Amino acid sequence: MGDYWELTLRFISLADANVRNVVIGSILLGSAGGAMGSFALLQKKALLGDALAHAALPGVCLAFMVVGSKDAFALLIGATVTAWLGSGVINYITRRSRLKLDAALALTLSVFFGIGVALLTIIQRSGSGNQSGLDKFIFGQAASILEDDLIVLAVVTAIIFVVLGLLFKEFKLLTFDSLFAGSLGRPLGLLQFIMTTLLVFAVIIGLQAVGVVLMAAMLVMPAAAARQWTNSLRSMVILSALIGAISGVTGSYVSFLAPHFPTGPWIVVMAGLIFLLSLVLAPERGLLAQLIRRISARRKIILDHLLKAFYAIGAETPHSSQLAYPVATMSERSRLSVRDSERGLRALKSKGMVSRTVDGWTLTASGAESAERVVRRHRLWEVYLRNYLGLAADHLHRDADELEHLITPEMERSLQLELNRPEYDPHKKVIPYQTTPSKNLRGEKTSRES
């Protein structure tokens, strides 16, 4: 345990130059990839980064063959040229042929990657001593990042964020409504060119750390995780960049503790874990929040059905003094299972809407008022479906039964106003408005608001 603390302190201090280069480089590639990945994801071009990363490999090899060394700037230029060429090929295929984007991406990715592997093989067989480590661009090797590489990464990342900040509104228009952006006189072609260039830059700076194979993950996963937490594009871009940076730091930390494991894959694993946590825990889109909403909605449906059952029984037995009903009766009338009926009645009791007696369950005054409200919304919705959608009478009850649980008090007031507060539903049943609850549930004449 003491060794881990000592290693952790060494990592946090960044005293080791190699550790410092890896951590800063991972932060730069993670933040740049996350920010640009947001636009790629929202434009439904998530796999474009994968194709660009594979298309960059021939450029890396050609630049090395021309320069004769692993100069970071030269490799960057070469990778940018072929990545842009790959982007142009994708656009040409989608515009000039019947092939869709997925087919164009697959063709470009496979062809360019094949060329890159062939060139890499030629370089390796040339016997040049400077080619050592060039094959790491396929799977990445963050430990090979040097200070000179770090300067190039920092400059390119700064360019990405500066241009992104200056053209954020234009990129937002281009992403969500390109036709509207064109009607405003925005140069769509130029904007798309700039956005694609920034995406190419984001891909290129990540190749040395995570490699061609995993770079697409660094574009998609931070953006996908950020999308779970927010509806704002600005917030999504910032959060995605932050998630990318955190993935870079945590991946570097795990790799530092376990030096036999490469850094690039661990960065991707950390990004994947953050995405999984976001997928489950996000407050609105998260799986846990969705499960809670489904449980809450089902619970509301059960309670509404029980309240309607109480109302119906009371309306059918106007001269009966028995106001308490056993669970079996409520289950039959509400068409719920006995188990759901028992749970629903206990929930209504906790809300003060029903009480339990020796004979069974009975409504309180609050419960009677709630029962009337549920029935009122159901019957108002039936009137609306008949008047505005022309549904047949035998279809009204089923459709209204599915939608009544979604009606809010505001929607109810709007329905009353729109329908001119009708007295009867399409089945000639009285629509209960404000009544004296106990009298209504005994079946006595329903009093109406003045």
Q: Which domains does the chain have, with CATH numbers?
A: 2-284 (1.10.3470.10), 291-441 (1.10.10.10)
Angle CA(258)–CA(35)–CA(109) in degrees, nearest 5? 75
pLDDT of residue 443: 41
Burial of 242 (0-12, 13-18, 19+ CB in 10 A): middle
Contact 204, 160 (CB under 8 A): no
- Please, what are the averages of pLDDT over each run of 10 residues along the chain (450 residues)? 77 86 91 94 88 90 85 84 92 89 90 91 72 66 80 92 95 91 89 92 84 84 95 95 95 87 88 96 93 92 92 72 80 92 94 90 90 91 87 76 82 90 89 59 40
Contact 275, 224 (CB under 8 A): yes
Q: CA 393 to CA 374: how far, in whole Å? A: 20
Nearest to 278 by CA among 326, 320, 229, 223: 229
Q: Where are the alpha helices (DSSP H) in 167-286?
A: 168-176, 178-183, 188-227, 233-257, 263-281
Neighbours of 118 (CB within 10 A): 12
SS (H, E, C) 62-106: HHHHHHCCCCHHHHHHHHHHHHHHHHHHHHHHHHHCCCCHHHHHH
Q: How far is CA 136 from the centre of its chain?
A: 33
pLDDT of residue 212: 79
